[in-house]
Amino acid sequence: MQSADARTNPPDRAGPAYPPPRSPGSATRAPAGRFIAVDTYDVRFPTSLELDGSDAMNPDPDYSAAYVVLRTDAPDGYEGHGFAFTIGRGNEVQTAAIAALRPYLLGRSVAEVLDDLGGTWRELVHDSQLRWLGPETGVMHMAIAAVINALWDLRAKRAGLPLWQLLASMAPEELVALVDFRYLTDALTPDEALAILRAGVAGRAQRIARLRAEGYPAYSTTPGWLGYDDDKLRRLCRQAVAEGFDQIKLKVGGNLSDDLRRLRIAREACGPDIRIAVDANQRWDVGTAVSWINALAPYQPWWVEEPTSPEDVLGHAEIARRVAPIRIATGEHIPNRVAFKQLLQLGAVSFLQLDATRVAGVNENIAILLLAAKFGVPVCPHAGGVGLCELVQHLAMFDYVAVSGALDNRAIEYVDHLHEHFIDPVRLHRGRYLAPTAPGFSATIRRESLLEHAYPDGPVWRAHPGTDARHTSAR
């Protein structure tokens, strides 16, 4: 577990806020140094007070981050920041799992680790003893995600580039070397991945220019939380349309008559031209999902998200077959690239929703983006949460520039919560994400936010003892 000093006295963000740009690929030209600290923080936000984030399976979430800061003794002072997202209780377990990875970094050469992030990923994920805790799933896999993402944050800061641009500047051969193709070659071989990436080299500059000029499409989940009353739903739907979003998403699955009423309200508030997706958050079994989705069909949902257990690949395929042409989306709880492979092989999803912290970080998400490109399925990343919008924008933009080259039927989820706590928060204009320009992975939480929301002793939690996770189990 983290020390009391680390929990209550997080270090100031070292180094300049915006390091000077360097040429692509020069991530380790700065003085390299060694890793001297892997600091962890249990950070929680009491979002359950307003029922922000509420859905049929998670009625009172407190959005949380098991947060990690990688520090080095290099004179440039740059740090790597990363986290795993949870929704409250158990965040201490996730934080402890990240702390358990300290021995893999402390004392090691920063240059050697950052220059071989493919090898570093394999070392962590394929550790013969850590694997027994998964394999490649659950708390330990998410801990590896936090560390791998923090390493990419550090590498991008040293390169003087936002992560999406750093990845998009890498040669196809470098990108393929980052991917672990174990368990994937029946669906995607290294040669096929290389061909996809080489095909994407042409037009990269034009796509970067378009991305900078126009941004990346977004959709809003802000109106749709299940705990909101009808008036708030109606008001936030109208607000989303006024802000330029052409798609929103509603949570469903609690009560069918409530879902039908809320869909009617949303359609009346948004008008006929706005896409409305719905999200059941794993609420149903296969038969219930089919009957419920068919009942919602008159409202023409753009997609139905997470209709059943994320591990039930065959169930997703059966639902997709029986509710067609209504489309199925899933991904935020899919634990690894193998499950994504199976969903794609079975034609079980029409939209793939990767998550920045559920699988083992950037490397595994590159594998998932390549799988989606191979099967021609659009990627619409899961966001919301705390910091997930900040992270997934980089992955989606890299996908557009260097992998799929496409924007059709693609959008990044957006939720208007907690961005103020980040040094480099997302920026939106007229329903589109603007491309990040600051070096790094946009993962750095402000020092004052770490202090105020530290669990259980931060002032926010002392001020709201009734919301404290130690007292909410019976609420």
Contacts 24+ apart (CB under 8 A), 29-33: 29/158, 30/74, 30/76, 30/78, 30/158, 31/74, 31/75, 31/76, 32/74, 32/109, 32/110, 32/111, 33/72, 33/73, 33/74, 33/75, 33/109, 33/110
**439 phi and psi angles, rounded to 5 deg:** -60, 145
Q: Which two tokens stand for residue 399?
A: 């996908």
What is the torsional sign of CA 301, 307, 310, 311? negative
Write out the H or E segment, with its range, that includes residue 270. helix 256-270
Under 8 Å CB-to-CB from 205, ≥6 apart: which residues? none
Cα(333)–Cα(58) distance, integer angstroms: 13
| Region for 282 from its dihedrals, namely left if φ exceeds 0, alpha if ψ lies in -120 to 50, beta otherwise | left
Q: Which two tokens stand for residue 349?
A: 């999803």
Query: Which of 163-182 are b and which e, b meaning 16 or more Cβ less than 10 Å from the residue's Cβ?
Result: bbbbbbbbebeebbebbbbe
Strands 64-72 and 428-429: unpaired
Annotation says 251 is catalytic: yes
Annotation says 249 is catalytic: no
**154 phi and psi angles, rounded to 5 deg:** -65, -45
Q: Which of 141, 157, 249, 251 is catalytic?
A: 251
Under 8 Å CB-to-CB from 199, ≥6 apart: which residues? none
Residues 274, 241: contact at Cβ < 8 Å? yes
Residues 93, 100: contact at Cβ < 8 Å? no
Residue bearing tokens 């990108």: 175
Cα(112)–Cα(220) distance, integer angstroms: 41
Strands 35-44 and 64-72: antiparallel
Residues 147, 121: contact at Cβ < 8 Å? no
CA 445 to chain centre: 16
Residues 373, 403: contact at Cβ < 8 Å? yes
Q: Which of 157, 341, 374, 382 is catalytic?
A: 382
Residues 58, 87: contact at Cβ < 8 Å? yes
Using alpha carbons only, give the angle 278, 279, 282 rounded to the nearest 5 degrees. Answer: 150
**Which residues does the annotation mark as catalytic?**
251, 382
